[in-house]
Structures are given as C-alpha cells and as structure tokens.
Structure 1
C-alpha cells in the first residue's frame, strides 16, 4: 500500500465518518425534528473548539465510530468532555466498542477534572451483540458511580432512552430533556401492550413533561434542542471552574513536514529534522547527543511550553532500541516526570535490537525500565507514530496500554507485531493460499481504538499544541519518585 493511497484512504474515511448511518437515515433524523450528532456538538460548544477522539473505532456493525462521537471542547472557554450518540447508526444502540468509547471519555474527564456531558439519542442495548452489549452498559455504570461527586456529570436526552440504558442518566447529576421529542422509560409502549395489555402513549409513559412533573427524573426541559443547549451552558456557568484552555485552534500548518519522510520506506532519515520542524524556532536542546544515538532525547518549546522529547532516530541502528537506548530513555522519562515536564514520543521503531550480545548484556532487564518509566509517569504524555512501530517497542514507547494520554499516527504509518516481510516468513501461508497477508496500517489500529487519531503530518504541530493545552488540566503526582540513576 503506497503512501499516496494511504493519504487518499484517510480522506475517504473522514468523509465516511460524516455520513454516519447514510444520507437516507440522516434525512429521516432531520425530518423528525432532531439534529445530527455532529451538528449537536457544534451547536453546544464554542466554535471550532471540538476535538474528536477514537473516531475510527469500528465495532461489529462495521461502521466507523460505532454510533458514538467522543471528544473534548470548550463551553464559554471552559474545558468539557462529551459524547454524542448517533441515532442514524444502528439507532444509536450501545455495543461493546460503543460502550468502551464512553468509558474512555469518562476516564479522560476525570483525568482532566472536566465536566462530562452525554448527548443521548439511543434505542438501548444493541440486540445483535447480546450479552456483550449489556456488559458494556455495566462498565459505563461502574465508572459513573466511581466518578460521582468527582466531576459534574450531565445527561442531555435528545431522543429515545429506553430499557437498561435509562440507568445511565439516572446515575448522573443533572438530566435535561426536549419536550415532545425526548422519551425515557424502562419498558416501551409496545412491550407494555404485549405484556400487560395496557395502552399508553410515549409522552404519558416517558415524556419530558411527565418526568418533570411526576417522576422527578428530569431537572430541566426546553421546547427544542437550541433552547436546551442554552440551559446546559447556563448550568455550567454555576459550576466551580477548573483550568481553562484557549478556545481558539492553532491552525498553523508546517507544510514541510509532509515531505520529511523518504519516499522509500527502507531509507533512513534524521529524526532531528522532524523535531526542529515541530518545535518553536531554535528551541531544541538535545541531551546525551553522542550516547545511544539511535534514540534522541532533549527539550523543545511548543507554543512557548517546555516539552521533553523522546524520538527514535532511523539514522542510527534503524532507530531500534538496545541496552543503552533503554537506559537513556528511562532516565529521561523519569527526569521529566519528577519535574512536571510533559512528554512527547516520536516513534519510528523496528523493535528491540536482537542478537546474542544484546541478550547477554541484559536487554530484557533494561528494556523493562522503559516500560516501567512510561507506565509510572503521570505528566501529560503524547505519542506520534511517524512511520512504523513494531513488536514490544510499540508497547514500550508510551502506548495507550501504558497510559499515554493521546497516541496519534501519520497516515502512512504501520503498527504490528513485526513488519510485513517478517510476518510472511512466520505465518504458515500454505493453508491461506487465497488470502492476502493483512497490511498492518494505522487505520486498523484506529479501528481497534489502539490509537486515538490519524493526522496529516503538516497539522501535527497544531494538534500537539491543542492537546497539551487540554492536558494542562491533568492531575500530576506531587512527588512521584526520585530520579534514580539508570
């Protein structure tokens, strides 16, 4: 898969995301008096402030996003996290991946000490996924209870909310509903009629007026979505404020980043060129430049904020990690964590360097230090995968599994247990004569939620500035550990 094709694929998938469940379902949504999920987000938050997370995650329905949009934004300059269910995708029903995305944004909200807003428009649990869908709801409930009283949790009902799904808003602090459009009940009218023989309409059973006047479940109602969003914003204005982030986007592009990688994927380059392009002008200060040159460590300023950089350098040993690079990396990461300096990892790694000499020197023990350092660090941590990330090195270098706050990838990057050529030599292809070996692209990792987003190289600087601004709200351990020599 050539790089031109991968770039085209990114644009195609972005267009696919905007389609949701398709034009016919989107038109039906509008005809019913309801806005589309993305339009709702735009109407609620400050202009151009929303950043989507895990947008390429794909569940069993094989639709990008799996029916829920998650991310962060500002409302009147205040940082918020939110999710919006897309009724045009499987009726907004909750499946395994859908639930995992909601859990992710809940965890991010707590990490950033930001209110969590749920824009709910869902038919409930996804029947096709059976007990896994119910398990997903259980995971959401548990997180909501754990974080109750820790962050404000708001539920904005903008359509149906039925069955076990109703207990999610019931666990939150405040519920908002649109009159004559929002409905919330444990058992719907059709099932009630079949089971009990009673004939009741949607409004009487679970409409906004009933809940506002009889059940007491809803706290605020409004005649339409626009009026309801105004009420949400007004409510937030009474909440104690945390740290604020700039409401403007840094849209400055660095065009030369699009051409910094060699066309030939086997060719080497000096990663310090990438660092210089991302950093504020003349702000890069490299440390230990003559030791373990396959790994670059140092400081940059990014929009005048100090950031510690760890980067594989393909110019030396193909950027692989050996014993010395492990020690260099781990010590630098722990230093930054001690003194509250955010971390940035620029990853282009073939793996840990194999061989008798490295094994005898204790590569396993030294490599474990890298894993320990990143997993232990509480400062803001972001990874950008530039070209490839293979094997245990993919996990060790600040992966989502180890607690990275954000993992971004350039469109042409690959992530796998090993490269395609190596995989072909290991997998028994005799039984798979008609199958092609899957290409380990960034898109596959994004569909699984293992990376947060795929970004164009020229937008990387702007995206990093935005992400670090958000992570300024992250809770950092006061005195996490000492800076043990490694």
Structure 2
C-alpha cells in the first residue's frame, strides 16, 4: 500500500474511458479478422465456385512465400453507413518480394462492394503507388473491379481522391523519380481504375474470360443507349487482338502470375539499376539449322520464331503482343544470360510487312528497352512498309516517324541482322545503319534496296514493258520483266553496301548468334 492509501494495482488501473491492453488486443483481433474475412464466406465461396481467386490468394501467388507486408489492412469506407462493411475498403495493398526483389502490390477485392473504388481505397492506391515511385520498386496492380463507387465519388470534390494541392498521387506518376516497371493484371470484368492502370503499364496480362474497359456495359447503356456485353466491350477480340492494349492473354490466373514473375526477371527494379543477368544457356536449335529454316525464295513464308530459337538462349524468349499486329514478333529474351529486346519481321503473316499497328507494337518495345537499358536486337526480313488507303486511315506515316524517332534516339546497344531482305523506309526504321545502330550485318543472300525487285522493275521500266507488250504481247513483256528482275536482284546483293561500309560485315547464316554476341560487345560502352 502506498502513502496515499491506494494499492499499486489501483494506480495501474486505466482511468475512466481508457482501454486496457487486453481490451485493445481483443479489438485489434476483431478488426483484423473482419479485414481478412473480406466480403464474407458466402461471397468468397461464390467466387471460388466460379473459378476466381480472392485478392489475398492472388497476392500470395504473386510474391515469394511469407514476404508480403500489408499496408492499410484496417482501413475501411469513410461513409458512416458503410464503414466496416467495406473491409480494407475493397483493396489490398503492400510490399512483398519476387525472386528476392521488392515489389509494391495493389489487388482490388471484388468480394467487397464489387471491388469498387471509394475515397479511402483510392487513398491506399495512391499511397502504394507513390511509395513505389519514391523508392524505385516495381508496381504490380491486380485488377478485378467495377469502377468508381457511388455515391462516394459524387460531388464537386470527387477529384480529391486523385490528389489535392500537394499534387497527383492517383497513379503515382508525379512522384516517380526514375522509371519503374509497371504491370497490370486483369482478373475479372475490370472497369474504371484498372483501365487507367493498364494505360500507364509496361505489361498488361489478362486471364481468359475477363474484360477491361473504362466503363461497364450497364453504364455504357445508360449513357449512350448502346447495348453491349463484357466480351464485346473489352474482351480479348478487342483488347488483345485489335488494339493491343492487353499484352498477353493467359489461360488461368496462375499462368498470369507466372508471366508477371517471369517478366520482372528481365527488368531492373528501376531505371537506375542494371538489368539482371543469369547464367547463359545454349540455344534450343543448333545454328546450322538456320540454313534450312529460312527459304531462299524471298516471298516464301516461314516462322521467324524458329530463327529466334537458334539465336537466343534456350527457353528465354517471352513474346509480347503475340496475337496483335502479327507481321512482327517482339519480346524479351537473353543472349549469354543478358536480357535483350527482340524485334523480328514475321514472314508467316502478311509477309512480315511493317504496317501501322506493327510500327506501334515495335515502338512500345523500343520505349521499354530504352527506359530500362536493355539492348535491342533486330532480325530483318523486311518487305517494306504497308501502303494503301487502309494504311493512310491508320496514319501509317505518323506511326512510322514515331518509331523512327524512338529507334534513332535510343542510346542502348543496337544490333541488326538482315536475314533475307530489307526494303524501303522499314529497313531504316528497324535498326538500319542510319539509326546509330552499333552493328549491322547481313546474310550473303540478303537483298537490300528501296523496294522489292519485281515492284522496282514495273516502276522504273514501265515504258519498256509497255512497248514490249505492244510489240510481242504479254509473253514478251513477262520475259523482259524477268530479265530486268535478275539485274535488279544483282544490284540488291549486300556486297555493294558492305564495300562502302554501310554494313559492318556479311556473315554465314549459322554465325547469326555469334554476330549478335559480337554486336552486343561492340555496342556496350562505358557510358
């Protein structure tokens, strides 16, 4: 007993209104349990029955086991009538690791108010995006949401969710000090925020059966009177094949996470770091097979991916946009363990022509490699640029200049191998000698020129062919055209370009991988 007549236990007791540790711990456990319960057993069971994972299961698939530190678990809606009925305010955010490297993660929780974005949830997103930008962590956003939450975002102050006078934080773009990899996964019918995430991302991966658009069918119908479906509005036919907004379509959510983890393995955590290398692996296809993979006849199709199998490290190629603008193949691969960006004409589709969508597709890869310091490897079998009314409607000239400028200004090592042909402006835009390319080589049977020989003959010798047709008929004109084409083919051989040092070398086809290795050696400088 103390001098005042009170016991020590009395002095330690909380004052009126204060909470004991035990009471505080009990409240903490209750709130944590509510957050972890997400939308409740019934909604989670319904999602599982439909083959959909919940937000925390998705995060667990993405990051290394036991590495995730959640931020804002105890947050909930700031509307009094909703409050804790929106646990975590429908979004899980935090930091984990992928192959030991830190990543920031956002995962919308579609079991809570359909994954809609409220004010608190928007603040959580902005906080984690800003953290990623300030600290130089890659940002992965897992989208399965139904747009902005109403009535939360009604009123003239709705834009406060994106930032106030301190500046934008909605996408974390203002505070990003150095470029970071930004990745969006579409794992449901995702409207609103995920579309904006995708527009700011380097990689967008979607699981089958999902869609992505600015607004869903119901709002589109109410606003425009047009009837549409999830599939018609933002399914794979639109976003994967037509627009290319989605980089890859995967069969399952598990496959989506595997692709994201693999993609991150090619890139540094931010633009100030070196791209990560791994031990080299021998190509899957022996180099000698290049002699038979590529036909001698210039207009004969083949799959250029078979060439990549003989040039890149085995099983290292991750193709980007494989179902969009298929006349070119682009992606990330490795040469002697070093990450590289790869661009190749694809003669299997439209002869490998460079059209407007293909130019944009290549431009995206060039921008990615320039931003993160990955070398660019161009494998040309270039018939030229697509011309005609449709090309003009697609602003092909504008798209070409965008690509041309990006390649010309890119400071990364650039290596070009001309496999079979390289014609016109496409030849220059895809790493031709005039683009500051560090190493340009050609196969000995390659043809290089302003346009293909058959087209050139009809343009240059139009009057001679017309006269031959008038004097000797169609057969005489065809014979003359064939003779003139042979002369053209001779002029297009690589020897003249090599003699004037427009080509650094002419190589044997089976030495293509070594030429790429040599080019990377030449092009990798000390600054």
The normalised TM-score by structure 1 is 0.47
The normalised TM-score by structure 2 is 0.43
Question: Larger relative CO (CA 8 A, sep 6+): 1 or 2?
Answer: 1
